[in-house]
Structure 1
Amino acid sequence: MATQIGQNTRYQPQDWFTNNYTISTNAERQRDASHQVRQEGRFLKNETDNQTKWDQYSNNVRLADRVDHIRKWKEILEKTLADLDKEIADLSEAKELTEISLEAKNLPTDVVLENLTLREGRQEIDVVIDEPEKQLHKEAEVIDGIKKQLQQRINESFEQLCLLQEARQQVQADLQDKNIALGIDIDQYNLSDKSPNISFKPDSLRVPKGSTTPQQWEDFSRYNKDRADAEMKASNNLREAIHHTLQQTDNDLEAQRIATEYALRKRIHEFERAKDELEWQKKNTEEEIAEMENDIRNLEEAIRDKINPMKLAQTRLENRTYRPNVELCRDAPQYGLTDEVKQLEATKRALEEKCNQAKHALDGLEKNLHRINDDLAKKNNSPMLDNRCMNIRQKLQTRPQTSIERNLTITGIEREKTKILA
């Protein structure tokens, strides 16, 4: 039986070597490419892990900073709210005191009207416009003016209370929003990638309507605080004005009451008071002049004391200009000496200006002292004349002597009796 050989394709040996080389080369290239992909994958994994880690850390820091910022403003607003509550209570108390004081002025009005009515019972020549009647009418005018002032303060207090309440509502609303935002941000800070309540959210990158910038957020809270501070300052000024008005009106009413009750002795009292005031002013003015002269001497000495330091600083600057070549640099001593010279010049100018102001004030004090001395001389003379007039008028109070008293005076018996008694 004959053997049949298949008709397979025949290749040359170099084709066989070429095929083997191609397979080997492709395998090495594929392994290199695979190795490169693996290395890049590992690098990308590490980079993305690190980026994710640091992004979470950075955002945690941002959230912590934000929480601290919100907490700081929360504390500020809480303090502002407490101050507002205290100011509202204080202003309400001042308003109540003003209302009580206004109601209390009804009694002086009734008293003045009753006094004027009783004085209408005078007859004939006694019905004169004398000093007590003038003072009673003046007292009625003072009381009416006081009532108007107190009513005005009450109206101003009511308006200011409304403004304080409005500011308080704004601060309280802002504080409530801060508490909600603080709770939300604290919850977000406490979240982690292992928290059970995290999930994918639809359109998480959207910007909610009504979002503000951090500057707008801070400006809003700052505006609320500044407005509250402004209203509290206005309220504080109003309370001071109310207490001043209460005290001033009480003083005015008391002064007018004293003037009404002591109308006949008013001028002497005013002269004595003016004299005492001038003597007190003279004493204080003389002491102030002595103090001012001493201060002027101190200022002049201080100006003289600045001469040598100025010479020293300028000499140092001038001598340092002779440094050779590159050594002539504007180093720290150069700037320091320049600042020292400028500071000394400014200090000297300020001292000279203050010394001139002190001399001007001293001149005013001396002129005022001269005027006080002139006025004091008049005040010393006027009460003396008034007292002499009062002494002369004492004769009107002397009762006439009887015949027996006249005879005793003539014979000297009264003098002997007085001597024995003495």
Structure 2
Amino acid sequence: MATLSGKPGLRYSVSDWDTRNKQMSDTAEQWRHISHETRQDGRGLCIETTCKTSWDEINSSRRLSDRIWDISRWRETLESCAKEVDKEKDALTRGKEETERALAATMVSLEVAVECLTLREGRCGNELVNDPVEAQLKKEVKLIDGLQQMLQQRIDKAFEQLCLLQEARQQLTQDLQNKIEAQDIDLSCLSLNVTSPDISLKPNPLCIPIGSTTPQQWEQFSQNNVARAQEDIQASLQLREDMRVTRAQLQNELEAQRIATEFAIRKRTHQLEQACNEMNWQLKSTQDEILNMENDIRSLEDDLQAKMAPLKLVHTRLENRIKRPGVDLCRDEVQFGLVEEAKQLEATILALKQKLAQARYSLQALQLHQAHMGEDLSQKQDALFLEQRNLETRSRLNSAPFTDLSSGVIVPLTNSSGRHNLELT
């Protein structure tokens, strides 16, 4: 017979059992309801997030398209501005070269003026005159020196402006290059989609990059670059106009001074020619007078010599009549006549001697003055030759006028910074 061992287990009542069963059923139904709600919410969330994701992707693509359009608009603006800068650089470079040729051409005028002044230093004696020709030549040298300084200032300013244009061009180029790269990146981003093979998760994609700017700063940066370039272009336009006006002023003032100087030289040449002609006539007249004076002196000498025989005759008669004896030593009319004749002859001889001395003195003075006139004529002829040489020298200004800039030789002209040429890239 089997026997029971141990304490009896805990027994539940039927009601507890029913309650527990109902509780389990209610719990299962509750969790099923919760699960159903969760599933419905999950489906709604999936639909909502799918739409949201698709819409966000569309919005991002639209924003990328708008951004690409903004970049493209600024690219066109920057490219157009860069072309204007390049065009202005070329125009300013040509203007600078024309001004350099004008400056180089003034060297011919300066050399001619200095050569004329040097030639005129060869005048001698009384012909070394501080006349209007010298005043005009010195004025011409001073004028050319002032114009050269003005042209050099314009050239230096043009060089500095070219540097500013180059800096603006480089800034535009850098900005344009950055926008090209940014546009390529945004185009690449726009071409991506969820099926693209090269998409992946990235570490810390939401971080803000160092050096990030706001859209306002981005646009203001390009606006500043364009505004600076436009300001430099306007300054270059004004400078080119200033250089053109300066070159025109150079042409007008040098031409006016050239005409004034050559008029003074021609006037002085005419005066010298008249003086030489007058001096030649005076020399010829003096030479004729010297010949006449020499003839008269010979006549006076002959006449004086001719008076010696009558004087000897009178003196001999008077001497012989002193030998009359006694009362016959009478002071008769013969005696008075011979004395008067002797006095008259001596006065005549004295007058002839005085006139001969005066004639010889006059002849000597004429000969001396003739020598002086000959020396003066030689100096005037030399001065006339120098003035003619000046006119020949200045003919170089007519044969190769400085306004012919196209055929002018460009000489290396250093600017204020000591550089010869501007390297533009």
The separation in 2 between residues aligned to 1:201 and 1:25, in whole angstroms, is 48
Matched with 2:200 is 199
CA-CA distance at 1:214 after TM superposition: 1.7
2:138 corresponds to 1:140: no
1:168 partner letter:
R
2:265 and 2:101 map into 1 onto residues whose CA distance is: 33
Residue matched to 1:50 = 51
Q: Which residue number corresponds to residue 259 of structure 1? A: 260
Q: How many residues align?
A: 259
Residues in 2 aligned to 1:100 and 1:222: alpha-carbon distance in whole angstroms: 38
CA distance in 2 between counterparts of 1:252 and 1:105 reads 12
TM-fit CA distance, 1:92 = 1.2
- Give the corresponding residue for 1:90: 91
Shift of 1:186: 0.4
User: How many Å apart are 1:190 and its aligned residue?
Assistant: 0.8
For residue 88 of structure 1, report the CA deviation from its aligned partner.
Answer: 1.4
Structure with greater Cα Rg: 2
1:243 aligned to 2:244?
Answer: yes
Letter in 1 for 2:41: E
Query: What amino acid sits opposite 2:187 in the alignment?
Result: I
Matched residue, 1:78: 79
1:420 alignment counterpart: none
Superposition deviation, residue 115 in structure 1? 3.1
1:107 Cα deviation from its structure 2 partner:
1.2
Equivalent residues in 2 for 1:400-411 (5 A)?
Answer: none
Secondary structure at the residue paired with 1:157? Answer: helix
Q: CA deviation at 1:56?
A: 0.7
In structure 1, the residue corresponding to 2:209 is in which secondary structure? coil
How far apart in 2 are the matches of 1:61 and 1:116?
81
In the TM superposition, residue 257 of structure 1 has moved relative to its aligned partner by: 2.1
Equivalences for residues 160-309 of structure 1 within 5 A: 160-262=161-263
Q: Over aligned residue pairs, what C-alpha RMSD do you find?
A: 2.9
Deviations 1:273-294 (A, max 9, x none): xxxxxxxxxxxxxxxxxxxxxx
For residues 223 and 107 of structure 2, the distance between their equivalents in structure 1, rounded to whole angstroms, comes to 46
Taking the aligned partners of 2:213 and 2:10, their CA distance within structure 1 comes to 82
**Correspondence 1:107 to 2:108:** yes
Instruction: For residue 87 of structure 2, give the secondary structure of its aligned residue in structure 1.
Output: helix
Map 1:55-70 onto structure 2 (within 5 A). Answer: 55-70=56-71
Query: How far apart, CA to CA, are the structure 1 residues paired with 2:110 and 2:21?
Result: 130
Does the residue aligned with 1:212 lie in a helix, a strand or coil? Answer: coil
Write the distance in 2 (CA, Å) between the matches of 1:121 and 1:16: 150
In 2, the alpha carbon distance for the partners of 1:63 and 1:97 equals 50
Quote the Cα distance in structure 2 between the aligned partners of 1:61 and 1:147.
62
- The residue aligned with 1:304 is none
**1:153-210 CA distances to partner (integer Å, 9 max, x unpaired)?**
1111111111221221121111111111110110001111111110111111112222
1:34 corresponds in structure 2 to 35
Distance in 1 (CA, whole Å) between partners of 2:247 and 2:216 is 45
Q: Distance in 2 between matches of 1:129 and 1:176?
A: 69
Structure 1 residues 15 and 143, CA, compared in 2 at 3 Å: closer, same or farther? same
Secondary structure of the residue aligned to 1:105 is helix
Write the letter of the residue equivalent to 1:178: K
AA aligned to 1:160 is Q
- Looking at structure 2, the residues matched to 236 and 197 of structure 1 have their Cα atoms a distance apart, in angstroms, of 52
Deviates more, 1:148-157 or 1:165-174: 165-174
Counterpart of 2:235, as a letter, is: A
Counterpart residue identity of residue 204, structure 1: P
1:16–1:146: structure 2 CA closer, same or farther, 3 Å change rule?
same
Task: Give how far 1:129 is off.
Answer: 4.4
Q: C-alpha distance in 1, partners of 2:52/2:74?
A: 32
Residue 116 of structure 1 corresponds to which residue in structure 2?
A: 117
Match of 1:153 in 2: 154
Q: Deviations over 1:355-412 (max 9, x none)?
A: xxxxxxxxxxxxxxxxxxxxxxxxxxxxxxxxxxxxxxxxxxxxxxxxxxxxxxxxxx
**AA in 1 matched with 2:84:** D
Query: Residues 237 and 8 (structure 1 numbering): CA distance in 2 closer, same or farther, change over 3 Å?
Result: closer
Measured in 2, the distance between the counterparts of 1:193 and 1:10 equals 62
Q: Does the C-alpha gap of structure 1 residues 54 and 10 become closer, same or farther in structure 2, counting only changes over 3 Å?
A: closer
Query: Deviation of residue 68 (structure 1)?
Result: 0.9
Say which SS state the counterpart of residue 210 (structure 2) adopts. coil
Structure 2 CA distance for aligned equivalents of residues 46 and 200 of structure 1: 23
* Shift, 1:146, TM fit: 0.8
Post-superposition offset of 1:136: 2.6
What is the TM-score normalised by the length of structure 2?
Answer: 0.55
C-alpha separation between the residues in 2 aligned to 1:31 and 1:114?
120
After superposition, the Cα gap between the structure-2 partners of 1:253 and 1:32, relative to the gap in structure 1 and judged at 3 Å, is: same
Q: Mind listing any 5+ residue stretches in structure 1 that lack a counterpart?
A: 1-6, 266-422
Deviation per CA, 1:280-326: give whole Å up to 9, x if none.
xxxxxxxxxxxxxxxxxxxxxxxxxxxxxxxxxxxxxxxxxxxxxxx
User: C-alpha separation between the residues in 2 aligned to 1:151 and 1:21?
Assistant: 111
Give structure 2 stretches of 5+ with no counterpart.
Answer: 1-8, 267-425
Q: TM-score, normalised by structure 1?
A: 0.55
Aligned amino acid, residue 254 of structure 1:
E
* Alpha-carbon distance in structure 2 between the residues aligned to 1:127 and 1:9: 158
CA distance in 2, matches of 1:22, 1:122: 144
Distance across 1 between alignment mates of 2:175 and 2:12: 93
